[in-house]
Structure 1
Amino acid sequence: MLTAEFLAKLTAIVGETNLLTDPVDCYAYAYDNSRKIFPPLAVAFAISQEQIQAILLCCNEYRIPITPRGRGTGTAGGSLPEQGGLALSLERMSRIISIDPANRIIIAEPGVLNQEIQDAARPHGFFWPPDPSSAPFCTIGGNLATSAGGPHAVKYGTTRDHVLGLKAITGKGELIKAGCNTTKGVVGYDLTRLLIGSEGTLAIITEATLKLTPLPQSTGGITAHYKNIQSCAKAIAAIMAQPKIPSALEFLDKASLDLIRSRNTGLLPDDTHAMLMIEVDGSDVEINETGQAILTACKNEGLIKSERVIDSKALWVARKALSPLLRDIAPKKINEDVVVPVSRLPELLQGLTELSQKYRIANANFGHAGNGNIHVNLLVNPDNPDEMNRAEACLSEVFNLVLALNGTLSGEHGIGSEKRAYVGLEIDSVTMNLMKEIKHVFDPNNILNPGKLFPKG
């Protein structure tokens, strides 16, 4: 319950037009792309760093849980206000503060959309490499919270690799500055990389200095079609074992391909049971040399055909539409973004096939194979208790398989609330306790996105 006194102080900070208290109005901030629903008791829209600091101090005074969020595109439940309290939307902090081509940086507030950063950088000959499929809709604050990646992470890395510095307000309401405006800097602890991926549990980022990358001269596409998953997985390992790597390397299994075929007649051959979508970039000479090396690496006993593609736009559109289309197969998907070393992909994909058959759960696998990052989608009916029990048992074995292959439970979606029950499988108790101590230093009253990341209990 939020007291009248607390709401009065909150109104004084943000103004009446930036505060919602009607449950109907607040409902839009009760969910994210995990499709779980936890209504907040109020929603505040901050428009400045000073307001965020004042809000956090106020919430500390009244011990009100506060859940920061961008546009709610995350799939792991990281922006769900599970304990009610206050949802703090950063969507109105949407200024690009400065663009500095000479030093290859953009400074922006957390509510700026990923696509807006790309659009601002492009006229200067640059781009910001993190490119999640939700780029037109997701905010850089959300990208920072989960260290988002995307198809081009295979060459360029994830969000952590493209941020020089941050300003943030800690859980106890203190303004901190991390990092610097230069590509070299080793003064003090690296709080920038600590905050990136912390899912709003330590501090609320109010400003980010983003490192830009020159746009490639040109790009080229390659597709490779395989008779089976095993041959496709071997090709992935062969491609990534050579010096010349692609800028994007996407894998699609038969279930994913069938879904694309159902919506795009004639786009894919009927006998393709696994496929690679490959992109190379650089100078024309680099594209030719890298492309030829990749075509050679693609060759094995299961290859149907591999070829250069002049225009791969239709394929990329279909690939990026895959995730929402999965609901055509089943009303719910249990979506995981596991990662294993690339050389272990054949074992992972074979294991996923066996587990899907063992538990009789429909499964579609696709994703950023160049990083070993596979999006596993268990397709289920939430109204079928038996199927949900089988899916839960299957998921547990999927995670055990991933860890046995020296992998990790999440590559870019984060932990949030969806994966927290499994975190103890990967992180030992001593390390977990240290992380909890760090959380306490930043947020001693545990008001900032409480309950996320760590297992309950």
Structure 2
Amino acid sequence: MPLPAALLDTLRAIFATHALSVGEAERLAYAYDNSRCNALPDAVVFPTEHAQVEALVRTCRQHHVPIVARGRGTNTTGATVPVNGGVVVSFERMNRIVRIDPDNRLAVVEPGVLNGDLQNALKPHGFFWPPDPTSSPWCSIGGNLACNSAGPRTVKYGSPRENTLGLRAVAGTGESFRCGTYTSKGATGYDLTRLLIGSEGTLALITEATLKLTPKPSGMRTLRATYRDVNSAAHAVARIMAQPVTPCALEFIDDVALKLARDYGGDDVPLAGAMLMIEVDGEPDTLPSAVAAVSQAARGEGLEELRIAQTAEETQALWSARKALSPAQRTISPNKINEDVVVPVSRLPELVNGIRELSRKHDVLIVTFGHAGNGNLHVNLLPRDDAERQRAHACLAEVFALVIALQGTLSGEHGIGLVKREFMPLALEPGTLGLMRSVKAAFDPEGIMNPGKLLP
């Protein structure tokens, strides 16, 4: 159904001609994200200031028209696909770094700022913002906040929830509000900042974020450990995380992933039963002892080789397997199912072994790798034809059931979006889901904020 003429007239009054698109060609560009979901919006708007966002929400609420917030479309769960039509709000033009305040270790940014651009702006000040998804050169801060997207450094420094001090936003009621503080401590009322982070645009539109910065360590060492089998590597992860030195990255790659990466990336990728990529950071006087402690924990039953890079070139070579994985998977299956489940670190061996059994049971190729230090593994099912796609969907349901049985959860950083919402009752009790629906109703009484996402 086309947008009401009165709504279009109001949108034209709020947004200049070049900031409102209603032509089909322009709308098609905002109909999909990095999932395979696709749905055409009725209009796309490009706000440049908070007041426009507030006016937009108020008029869409008046006309009961859906609103879908969008960063750069790197989401893999369909969270930014406008399945009910309506208006897509692209924040790509709200891309200003408002201020960097080294004295108070914070930065104030608009949601369209790219993660990588922020990191580059922080370097001269000696700081960084810890969340570092693989897509950091292209993903936006707003998108990171919407899905609580993190990356390898989460194991030591935390996710966006731990690294965001406050937000400015517009609720689904059309009301503007600020939450959080400019200080590292605060105990004043409900923590709406953490509530909004990970809510996938279902409660409010974020127009500004105050981010907590971390001093950049002056040194880093990269280690690569190969193991006889995945079980040995999983046990090594538990040992590493049980000792006092926390690595700043601890990545797991299974044997299937290594073979794919080697076929694509060449002989720099080792052949092994499994591999861990480990990074340790710190100051020059403490770094050697930290590396020694992590190396000792990495050694154990099943270790085949432990290498420590001494130069930048060696570091790059050690990471070659991890970097070859994504393009290698695309050569196998353009329809890969990419999940990012999480279990307690001590349960990783059970998860890895369970996934291996499910792969055999359903005869579906599964590649497993990811942020093992958090217990967050990317489980990639690679179906190659229609029959395998059907088996993969059945397998996926059993993967989620296994994760919940191991006291884990459905997603660590990709979010729920459209593709995982049917599994939410596996992870959350009815009472919990009921409270979430009540929160949703308080923020968005008309149900216009990203409808059809997250909540089942």
Same fold (TM over 0.5): yes
Deviation at 1:318, TM superposition (A): 4.7
Query: For residues 224-263 of structure 1, what are the structure 2 equivalents within 5 Å?
Result: 224-263=225-264
Aligned counterparts of 2:123 and 2:225: Cα–Cα separation in 1: 30
Deviation at 1:320, TM superposition (A): 4.0
Q: Distance in 2 between matches of 1:114 and 1:325?
A: 25
Q: Distance in 2 between matches of 1:331 and 1:170?
A: 37
Instruction: Write out aligned runs for 1:118-267 (5 A).
Output: 118-267=119-268
Verify: 1:327 aligned to 2:330, yes or no. Answer: yes
CA contact (8 A) 1:361 1:379 kept: yes
Contact 2:258 2:321 in 1 (8 A): no
Matched residues in 2 for 1:317 and 1:267: separation?
7
* Residue number in structure 1 paired with 2:280: 280
Are 2:361 and 1:358 aligned? yes
- Cα distance in 1 for partners of 2:390, 2:269 equals 35
1:303 is displaced (CA, Å) by 0.9
CA contact (8 A) 1:113 1:137 kept: yes
What CA distance in whole angstroms lies between the structure 1 residues aligned with 2:327 and 2:433?
Answer: 34
How many angstroms apart in 2 are the aligned matches of 1:143 and 1:331? 25
TM-score, structure 1 length as denominator? Answer: 0.97
Residue number in structure 1 paired with 2:441: 440
1:108 maps to 109
CA contact (8 A) 2:268 2:321 kept: no
Counterpart in 1 of 2:345? 342
- State the 4+ residue runs in structure 1 displaced beyond 3 angstroms: 314-318
Taking the aligned partners of 1:26 and 1:316, their CA distance within structure 2 comes to 39
What is the letter of the counterpart of residue 35 of structure 2?
S
Q: Secondary structure of 1:331's partner?
A: coil
Aligned to 2:80: 79
**For 1:97-156, what per-residue CA distance to the aligned partner results, in whole angstroms no more than 9, with x for missing partners?**
111111111100000000111011110000000000000000000000011110011100
Aligned residues: 452
Residue identity opposite 1:168 in structure 2: A
1:306 aligns to what? 306
Task: Structure 1 unaligned segments of length 5 or more: list them.
Answer: none
Q: Which amino acid aligns with 2:374?
A: N
After TM superposition, give the deviation of residue 388 of structure 1 in Å: 2.1
CA distance in 2, matches of 1:451, 1:139: 23
- How many angstroms apart in 2 are the aligned matches of 1:143 and 1:201? 15
Within 1, Cα distance between the matches of 2:439 and 2:159?
23
Report the CA distance between 1:260 and its aligned residue.
1.9
Aligned AA for 2:217? P
- Percent identity of the aligned residues? 53
Which residue matches 1:449? Answer: 450
* Shift of residue 188, structure 1, vs aligned partner: 1.1
Is the contact between residue 147 and residue 200 of structure 2 (CA under 8 Å) also seen in structure 1? yes
Query: What secondary structure sits across from 1:332 in the alignment?
Result: coil
Are the equivalent residues in 2 in contact too, given 1:45–1:91 (CA < 8 A)? yes
Distance 1:330 1:69 in 2: 27
Q: Distance in 2 between matches of 1:295 and 1:97?
A: 42
Match of 1:93 in 2: 94
Question: Which among 368, 373, 382 is matched to residue 370 of structure 1?
Answer: 373
Output the CA distance in 1 between the equivalents of 2:262 and 2:19: 46
Distance between the aligned counterparts of 1:38 and 1:28, measured in 2? 10
Amino acid at match of 1:259: L
Residues of 2 paired with 1:307 and 1:47: CA distance? Answer: 49
Alpha-carbon offset, residue 273 of structure 1? 1.9
Distance 1:269 1:377 in 2: 20
Give the alignment's Cα RMSD to 1 decimal.
1.1
1:17, distance to aligned residue in structure 2 (A): 0.7
2:186 counterpart letter in structure 1: G
| Matched position secondary structure for 1:307 | strand
Does the 8 A contact of 1:133 with 1:320 survive in 2? no
In structure 2, what is the Cα distance between the partners aligned to 1:253 and 1:259? 10
Question: Per the alignment, in what secondary structure is the counterpart of residue 36 of structure 1?
Answer: coil
Of the structure 1 ranges 398-407 and 279-288, higher mean CA displacement relative to structure 2 is found in 279-288
> One-letter code of the match for 1:411?
G
Correspondence 1:38-53 to 2 at 5 A: 38-53=39-54
AA aligned opposite 2:292: Q
- TM-score scaled to structure 2, two decimals? 0.97
Whether the 8 Å contact between 1:295 and 1:307 is mirrored in structure 2 is: no
In 1, the alpha carbon distance for the partners of 2:323 and 2:201 equals 27
Q: What is the Cα deviation at residue 356 of structure 1?
A: 0.3
SS in 2 for 1:81: coil
Asked whether the 8 Å contact 1:43–1:86 carries over to 2, the reply is yes
Q: Secondary structure at the match of 2:413?
A: coil
Equivalents in 1 of 2:332, 2:286: separation in Å? Answer: 41
Aligned partner letter, 1:417? L
Return the letter of the residue paired with 1:352: I
Q: Distance in 2 between matches of 1:35 and 1:288?
A: 46
Q: Provide the residue aligned with 1:65 in structure 2.
A: 66
Q: CA deviation at 1:317?
A: 5.6
SS in 2 for 1:365: strand
CA distances 1:26-85 after superposition (whole Å, capped 9, x unpaired):
111000011211111111111110000000011011111110000000111111101011
Q: For 1:2-27, what per-residue CA distance to the aligned partner results, in whole angstroms no more than 9, with x for missing partners?
A: 12221111011011110111111111
Distance (Å, rounded) in 2 between the aligned partners of 1:412 and 1:166: 20
SS at match of 1:88: strand
